Amino acid sequence: MGYEYYFNQLSIFLCHLRYERNYSVRTLKTYCDDLVQFERFVFCSEGFDMRTITSSVIREWIVFLMDRNYSPRSVNRKLSTLRSFFRYLYRNGQIESNPVKGIVGVRTGRPLPYFVRDREMNTLLLDLSKGEGFEDERDRTILEVFYSTGIRCSELVGLNDEDIDFESCLIRVTGKGNKQRLIPFSKTLEEILSYYKTIRDETIWDVSKAFFVREDGRSLNYNIVYRIVKKRLSDIPNLPKRSPHVLRHTFATSMLNNGANLNAVKELLGHSSLASTEIYTHLTFEELKKTYKQAHPRA
């Protein structure tokens, strides 16, 4: 069971994730990189044999990563990849025992996500509304959609004209695992989306089926949207991180700060577990503490 057998099983595992679990190409690349890195560690240290991989080997790999200054979060993500892979091999009878079973991840304090305050967000969007031309209107609409719906960047890139119901004010998005959900939006956003679509159709003759496009009519991709958001958020001072996910955090934080039910926010975000949404309750509590310290005379 040398490294050739390992890579054969790796290819089968990745096909399983792609075609049976509907994982994205980006996620598959991360899984592949992690598993190749693990193979190199084991092969270089003692030769590669699937039967000799034990829990102690997994722990040595964790120490190896920590010694090379990988963050606890990165180590735990890589460990999660190994856990999925070896569980798959065990269930399919390729190995007699699962070496990752019982391995505990590296303890880490979960960092609170960055977000933009409502006042700063409203100022930014107001400034963007004064822009001219197709690109300015498109960029403004992209930020409005992120802020108003909390969708992921991949979900925004995947939006087609048919996914936006202007009459009912609903957006149909396809999330992780090809799961679809409907997200309501306001009349204000409906007007912004309609205006962008009018400008788009007047400016670009050959438009793809994608709702958000480039000036040549082709659909946007993840990297382009990331650069757009990073550029536009640069107008907000003292924001440590500028990305589409910051706007997703902003949406969730704003909803909870204004009295939204936690389960409702979970459904809107497309989280499979309430635990993923609960981090925003800690975030809003931190805001309450900060407000108290700033406002109360005895704080």
Interval 245-255: pLDDT, tens? 999 999 998 88
Tokens of 233: 């958020």
Q: Say how far apart CA 195 and CA 140 lie, in whole Å.
A: 11
Q: Say how far apart CA 152 and CA 204 lie, in whole Å.
A: 26
| β-bridge mates for residue 184, sequence order | 170
195 and 141 in one domain? yes
273 and 126 in one domain? yes
Q: Say how far apart CA 112 and CA 96 lie, in whole Å.
A: 40
| Catalytic entry in 18, 172, 230, 245 | 245
Which among 35, 79, 42, 37 has a CA at the least distance from the CA of 57? 42
19 and 74 in one domain? yes
Query: Is residue 98 domain-resident?
Result: no
Q: Which of 91, 107, 131 is the last residue of a domain?
A: 91
Q: Examine the residue annotation and report whether 296 is marked as an active-site residue of this protein.
A: no
What is the average pLDDT across 181-200? Answer: 94
Query: Is residue 113 domain-resident?
Result: no
Give percent of the chain with pLDDT exceeding 70. Answer: 89
Q: So what's the pLDDT on residue 152? A: 93
CATH code of the domain covering residue 259: 1.10.443.10
85 and 164 in one domain? no
Q: Say how far apart CA 179 and CA 19 lie, in whole Å.
A: 14
| Catalytic entry in 77, 176, 197, 218 | 176
| Catalytic entry in 152, 200, 242, 266 | 152
User: Which secondary structure element, helix H or strand E, spans residue 254, and what is its range?
Assistant: helix 244-257
- Count of domains for the chain: 2
261 and 193 in one domain? yes
| Catalytic entry in 83, 248, 249, 266 | 248
The model's confidence at residue 2, banded by pLDDT at 50, 70 and 90, is low
Q: Which of 72, 91, 110 is the last residue of a domain?
A: 91
Query: Is residue 102 domain-resident?
Result: no
CATH code of the domain covering residue 21: 1.10.150
Q: Is the dihedral of CA 266, 270, 272, 276 positive or negative?
A: negative
26 and 70 in one domain? yes
Query: Is residue 181 domain-resident?
Result: yes
Which residue range is the domain that position 29 belongs to? 3-91
Q: So what's the pLDDT on residue 10? A: 87
261 and 127 in one domain? yes
Q: So what's the pLDDT on residue 191? A: 95
What is the average pLDDT across 111-136? Answer: 86
Query: Is residue 109 domain-resident?
Result: no
The predicted model scores a pTM of: 0.65
133 and 235 in one domain? yes
Q: Examine the residue annotation and report whether 114 is marked as an active-site residue of this protein.
A: no
Full 3-state SS string of 217-228: CCECCHHHHHHH
Q: Examine the residue annotation and report whether 23 is marked as an active-site residue of this protein.
A: no
58 and 169 in one domain? no
268 and 160 in one domain? yes
**In terms of pLDDT, which residue wins out, 46 or 99?**
99
147 and 256 in one domain? yes
Which among 181, 202, 186, 74 has a CA at the least distance from the CA of 134? 202
What is the average pLDDT across 16-32? Answer: 90
Contact 118, 126 (CB under 8 A): no
Q: Examine the residue annotation and report whether 271 is marked as an active-site residue of this protein.
A: yes
Query: Is residue 23 domain-resident?
Result: yes
Q: Say how far apart CA 169 and CA 148 lie, in whole Å.
A: 12
276 and 180 in one domain? yes
* pLDDT tens for each residue of 203-235: 888 777 899 999 888 999 999 999 999 999 998
Query: Is residue 133 domain-resident?
Result: yes
Query: Is residue 131 domain-resident?
Result: yes
Query: In degrees rounded to 5, what are phi and psi of residue 82?
Result: -60, -40
Q: Examine the residue annotation and report whether 152 is marked as an active-site residue of this protein.
A: yes
